[in-house]
Structure 1
Amino acid sequence: MAEPAGKLKVTFAEYLALEEASETKHEFLDGQIYDMAGGTPDHGLLAGNVLRALGNQLEGRPCRVHPADVRIRIQATGLSTYPDVSVVCGKLQVDAEDKNGVVNPIVLVEILSESTEAYDRGQKFAHYRRIPSLREYVLISHQTKLIEVYRRADEGAWVLHEAESGSIDLVSIGCALSVDSVYRGAFEEPELVS
């Protein structure tokens, strides 16, 4: 998590009003607003590839795949944030204080970056684990072809599954992510134009 955007504490209602008027996205926790890092072309490509893969597989099923524009509200901890991809199955549920704060994702996906990797693996995952509906947390590496899936076991423990090739199952939604499809077009050197 980055440094707070401002040092003064704000209420959740003030955060929502600021967020509605803002052109950029911010996280909220404990009265503090945090700027979210901007993405790179590869980051956007990886997120788009995941969105397309899951959207195609979930076609006709009662699940929706959302991009990073959808805010997730973790009611147990108060964090409001924007994962790169979220999947909700069944009826969409929102926070009583935030009509746009989804509270029942079943799968969350984060595309890692140098500036966010430690946070996504640590503190953010600690918040995500407090979402009762969440069954799988997917991390997409920004350095190499690697997809990690943390899956909630029956006893509540989170078990890591990973794939560097082939595909990896998202059991909770009956889908699979092909490593080659997720990374299609990534890590290519851009052409410099002057």
Structure 2
Amino acid sequence: MANAVTPSYVTLEAFWEAEETSESRHEWLDGVVYDMSRGTIEHARLIGSIVRILGNALLDECSVYSSEVMLYIAETKLATYADATVVCGPLATYRVAKLGEAITNPTLLVEVLSDRTEGYDRGEKFAYYMRISSLKEYVLVSQYERRIEVFRRPQRGRWIHEVAQAGQSLTLHGHAIEVDAVYAKPVR
């Protein structure tokens, strides 16, 4: 996680109000506000690709949201943004007065890895995400090689880890997703 940008406790309401007009993004963790790093062009392209592919695959069953939507994890008091969020079934949100709402029941979350965020996305942030009872799959997309990892919540025991690379596919919410399709660039 990045350095804190607030020297003292900030309420969730004050954070949300500031976030609505901020030119950059932040995370709120139990009263402390942290800068979120900016993504590269490739990072943004991969987010768009995975949102499009998941949206097409899950069209009739789930809603797919871009990184514009905030998540709120009450158990850990974390307000953050995932690169992609999928909700299957009714949407549950946490509303902060008239300021807005954040998703609280994701089924699947995606993070595109970068040098600055990979450790956090694999470690502390994943630990926060594991506390979300509705979360069934956590997906990590490499920005530097054709490699996608998925962590699945089993009925019991530890999360199951799978890796797919170039030329392979993996299953997300019961649908086969080709790794190469996520990384494909348009022909110009």
TM-score (norm 1): 0.90
Query: Match for residue 145 of structure 1?
Result: 146
**In the alignment, does 2:64 pair up with 1:65?**
yes
Query: Match for residue 33 of structure 2?
Result: 33
Runs of 4+ in 1 over 6 A off after TM superposition: none
Q: Deviation per CA, 1:41-98, whole angstroms, max 9, x where unpaired? A: 1101111110111111122x13110000000111110111100001001111011547
Contact 1:50–1:177 (Cα < 8 Å) also in 2: no
Query: Match for residue 165 of structure 2?
Result: 164
Q: Deviation per CA, 1:110-141, whole angstroms, max 9, x where unpaired? A: 00000000000000000000000000000001
Contact 1:26–1:36 (Cα < 8 Å) also in 2: yes
Q: CA RMSD in A?
A: 1.4
Unaligned runs of 5+ residues in structure 1 are 187-194
Unaligned runs of 5+ residues in structure 2 are none
* Aligned length, in residue pairs: 183
Query: Match for residue 128 of structure 1?
Result: 129
Query: Match for residue 156 of structure 2?
Result: 155
User: What's the secondary structure of 2:37's corresponding residue?
Assistant: coil
Q: Deviation per CA, 1:26-48, whole angstroms, max 9, x where unpaired? A: 10002111111111111011111
Summarize the alignment of residues 72-111 of structure 1 with structure 2, pairs less than 5 Å apart: 72-97=71-96, 99-111=100-112
After alignment, is 150-159 or 129-138 more displaced?
A: 150-159
TM-score (norm 2): 0.93
AA at the equivalent of 1:109: V
Query: Match for residue 8 of structure 2?
Result: 8
Contact 2:95–2:101 (Cα < 8 Å) also in 1: no
User: What's the secondary structure of 2:13's corresponding residue?
Assistant: helix
